[in-house]
Structure 1
Amino acid sequence: MIAQSQNIPCPVCSTGIPFDTKQLMMGVQFACPNCAASVGLAPESKELVQETMEKLEAAKGKTSK
């Protein structure tokens, strides 16, 4: 899987927080560049997110053929 940088809205100020999906899955937290609030993936959500990412990658593979 290729790491992709994306943004998620800050829960405090709505500024886009850049994050890397691979690092997010590894438990890294990311800080808002505007207010320094941090976001990360809750341990109990990791399995669901992993399954969703695998389905997304499989769907991308089907559409690129």
Structure 2
Amino acid sequence: MNIEIPCPTCREHGRTSMIMIEPELLLHGAHFSCPLCHSSVALAVKSYPLYQQSLEKYTHYQMLTQGLKTEGEHPKLNRR
């Protein structure tokens, strides 16, 4: 799952550029760069636990949402 964020450095200088990020790779120390100005985005080591927990919750949310879409008009209630 790739996401795009606006490059904050380019924005400060009146330019428009997007940085592509792969959320799972952030947990493995990856950094992602702006193709225009080469500014880099990475996750601080102290943020790993909170980020991992949030990513797991988001993944769980995606699974629940997909399940509801699959079940259509008769979804099962009381999911956890």
Using structure 1 for the length normalisation, give the TM-score.
0.83
Separation of aligned partners in 1, 2:64 and 2:21: 26
- CA RMSD in angstroms comes to 1.2
Higher helix share: 2
The unaligned stretches of length 5 or more in structure 1 are none
Give the counterpart of 1:10 among 4, 7, 13. 7
Where in structure 2 are the equivalents of 1:1-65 lying within 5 Å?
4-14=1-11, 15-65=17-67
Task: State the shift of 1:11 in Å.
Answer: 2.0
- Number of aligned positions between the proteins: 62
The unaligned stretches of length 5 or more in structure 2 are 12-16, 68-80
| Percent of aligned pairs sharing the same letter | 35
Larger radius of gyration: 2
Letter in 2 for 1:63: T
Higher strand share: 1
Which contiguous aligned blocks of 4+ residues in structure 1 show a shift greater than 2 angstroms? none
